[in-house]
Homo-oligomer: A and B are copies of this chain.
Amino acid sequence: MNKQTAITTQSHPGHSDLVADWDRLFRVFICPKGHASRATLIKYMDQILYGLNDFLKKNVGITEAVSLKDLSERFTDTVINDNPQKKLADVITCLIKEIAPHAVNVSSPYFVGHMTSAIPFFMVHLKTIVSALNQNVVKLETSKVVSVLEKQVIAKIHRVIYNNTEEFYRHHVQNADTTLGVFVEGGTTANLTAMWMARNAKFQPKADFKGIEADGLVAAYRAWDVDRCVVLVSRRGHYSLRKAAGILGIGNSNVIPIDICKNNRVDLSCLKRTIRRLQIEEPKTCILAIVGVAGATETGTVDPLEDLAEISTQVGTHFHVDAAWGGPTLFSKKYRHLLNGISLADSVTIDGHKQFYMPMSCGMLYLKDPAAMDVIAYHSNYVNRMGSVDLGIKTLSGSREANSLILDSALKIMGAKGYALLIDHGIETAAAFAREIKKRELFELMTPPVLNILTYRICPPHAKKLLETADNDRRRIINEKLNTVNRRLQQIQREAGTSFVSRTTLLRDNNPDDAIVVLRSVIMNPMTTLSILSEILDEQERIFERDLKGLLEGQVLVA
């Protein structure tokens, strides 16, 4: 039997009133004209905007009223119905009543565990406009003004980062041949694109060699007499850098993690030692890029970017700044100095769906040199023809939605000050939270906040005291016990569904033997106040007393 003609769809009984026919199909495509049908469609939007919101309010955090296992068992039917199963109204109702309650209410002010948060309600309107227009920014012929607008908004953000002259921006803002930045899917793609550029810039064509993009990595290393490429970034660097190196053929083990100082910033002397060692012992190793972190995912800390820029210049390597998280700090007059040096970066990653509060998924990459992306340009006969203004020439992706419309509108609605207020609130609330944690003797602040992220853990006073004087072995044993407690704590709190912090594992003093499980808070929701954060600590204290204290008593870790 020919597999392709087998029936992989089926007719469910009980939905015989819904039949796929040409009339029905026409109706779902054409925008209805009658007042009644228009009103119905608007009513659905009402349900989406408010029905969804009301349901979410009742379902704070990651409720585990239904376990993942039970939930999974409800989603096992894998056969597509031949005829329609549901009308739009029923689909919406089902999404609101059956899906939303088991989704995660990332917009709750008690959800402080990840970099996904409430978004201003107008963002939903803007995304709706983007999808109603359905432009494809790969090419002018499917986007026109939207490509023009994208270039403008990119120049606006470029200016916030690099602050070049008015003449510079006049020359480049609508220049078809140059690129100040690109919209990409997210921070991972932005970091990948930056490393891709750095790789191709290093291995340009020479003599018979047509460049690394054409001839590949082996030919490139041979032509340029290189044995291996490395990327240097602190231990706090995002894992997407390893992924980028893996994809690009450099090998992710060649992303060399540089130790960090007590303040979670890259240890410059360790970086310099590593560079010296490479230069002396491995003259054929190419330092492809040095990456500075501006808002580490785990700790929110920022590397000394000016120093990194200087070192990069000395080494003659690409300097990339991963500001996926921290980028919008530049809007805050009070705190932008924390990112000093970012204007010296060859490339900068910023995520729109993080502190620009845009809907998923929107990343961006900005470039100091408007010609830098020429090394990754691709053309074809039917799109992205040579010399055209098609934006798809210099992006990893092909077809792509017009998220630039959202960012441009959001900047107009919020103003730079609006974003600054959010940044200031996050940083200052995190600082207040850190003070509150220090006040409570059950907790230990692990990484104090620089931006709006901090980590801490449960560590009773007695355990703290023991740790102070314990030797390596004893410390490891104590920490392992505490790790169990903190891991369980995070799970119990998550399952209770009232609030949510995340957890990660950090090495104290870069020591693999001192792996410490910490609770992680990301404070980006303007509704998250110190009082809410205190409630979260209260709940953690209660959970500890009720469920976890016993785990430590046998070990004399509590008095």
Q: Judging by beta carbons under 8 Å apart, are B25 and A142 in contact?
A: no
> Could you show 30 A-B contacts with beta carbons less than 8 Å apart?
A2-B337, A4-B342, A6-B163, A28-B413, A32-B121, A41-B125, A42-B42, A45-B125, A48-B129, A48-B132, A78-B158, A81-B416, A82-B417, A84-B414, A84-B418, A86-B409, A91-B409, A99-B146, A103-B143, A123-B131, A128-B128, A128-B131, A141-B494, A188-B398, A196-B247, A217-B218, A219-B251, A239-B380, A353-B399, A382-B502
What string of 1s and 0s marks CB contacts (under 8 Å) between A345-357 and chain B? Answer: 0000001010000
A295 contacts B by Cβ under 8 Å = no
Chain A 49-72 interface residues, beta-carbon cutoff 8 Å to B:
49-50, 52-53, 56, 62, 68, 71-72
Q: Which residues of B contact A502 (CB under 8 A)?
A: 141, 382
A interface residues, how many (CB within 8 angstroms):
196
Q: Judging by beta carbons under 8 Å apart, are B95 and A129 in contact?
A: yes
A106 contacts B by Cβ under 8 Å = yes
A111-119, A312-320, A534-542 - the one binding chain B? A111-119
How far apart are the CA atoms of A413 and B502 in the complex, in Å?
Answer: 37
Q: Judging by beta carbons under 8 Å apart, are A361 and B135 in contact?
A: no
What string of 1s and 0s marks CB contacts (under 8 Å) between A134-162 and chain B? Answer: 11100111111110110110011011101
Q: Which residues of B contact A218 (CB under 8 A)?
A: 217-218, 221, 227-228, 249
How far apart are the CA atoms of A414 and B494 in the complex, in Å?
Answer: 37
Q: Judging by beta carbons under 8 Å apart, are B417 and A133 in contact?
A: no
Q: Judging by beta carbons under 8 Å apart, are B103 and A144 in contact?
A: yes
Considering only CB atoms, which chain B residue lies closest to A226 in the complex? B218
How far apart are the CA atoms of A139 and B113 in the complex, in Å?
Answer: 12
Partner of A144, one of B21, B62, B196: B62
Chain A 511-525 interface residues, beta-carbon cutoff 8 Å to B:
520, 525
Q: Judging by beta carbons under 8 Å apart, are A500 and B141 in contact?
A: yes
Chain A 214-244 interface residues, beta-carbon cutoff 8 Å to B:
214-219, 221, 227-229, 239-240, 242-243
What string of 1s and 0s marks CB contacts (under 8 Å) between A68-105 and chain B? Answer: 10011101111111111111100110010001101110
Known A78-B155, A114-B139; judge A401-B95 contact (CB<8 A). no
A415 contacts B by Cβ under 8 Å = yes
How far apart are the CA atoms of A376 and B139 in the complex, in Å?
Answer: 31
Known A49-B45, A76-B174; judge A214-B246 contact (CB<8 A). yes
How far apart are the CA atoms of A131 and B45 in the complex, in Å?
Answer: 13
Q: Which residues of B contact A144 (CB under 8 A)?
A: 62, 68, 71, 102-104
Q: Judging by beta carbons under 8 Å apart, are B18 and A415 in contact?
A: yes
A505 contacts B by Cβ under 8 Å = yes
Question: Given A78-B152, A216-B253, 4 other A-B contacts at CB below 8 A?
Answer: A4-B336, A28-B120, A85-B412, A128-B128
A405 CB to closest chain B CB (Å) equals: 7
Known A99-B405, A132-B48; judge A3-B163 contact (CB<8 A). yes
Considering only CB atoms, which chain B residue lies closest to A222 in the complex? B218
Partner of A31, one of B121, B189, B353, B412: B121
Q: Judging by beta carbons under 8 Å apart, are A186 and B399 in contact?
A: yes
Q: Which residues of B contact A342 (CB under 8 A)?
A: 4
Q: Which residues of B contact A26 (CB under 8 A)?
A: 526-527
Considering only CB atoms, which chain B residue lies closest to A144 in the complex? B104
Q: Which residues of B contact A142 (CB under 8 A)?
A: 104, 106, 114, 116
A173 contacts B by Cβ under 8 Å = yes
Q: Judging by beta carbons under 8 Å apart, are B41 and A169 in contact?
A: no
Q: Judging by beta carbons under 8 Å apart, are B81 and A396 in contact?
A: no
Partner of A120, one of B29, B219, B247: B29
Q: Judging by beta carbons under 8 Å apart, are B2 and A340 in contact?
A: yes
Partner of A397, one of B129, B188, B506: B188
A270 contacts B by Cβ under 8 Å = no
Q: Judging by beta carbons under 8 Å apart, are A148 and B68 in contact?
A: yes
How far apart are the CA atoms of A498 and B4 in the complex, in Å?
Answer: 40
Considering only CB atoms, which chain B residue lies closest to A359 in the complex? B131
A127 contacts B by Cβ under 8 Å = yes
Q: Judging by beta carbons under 8 Å apart, are A156 and B80 in contact?
A: yes
Q: Which residues of B contact A402 (CB under 8 A)?
A: 360
Q: Judging by beta carbons under 8 Å apart, are A132 and B44 in contact?
A: no
A302 contacts B by Cβ under 8 Å = no
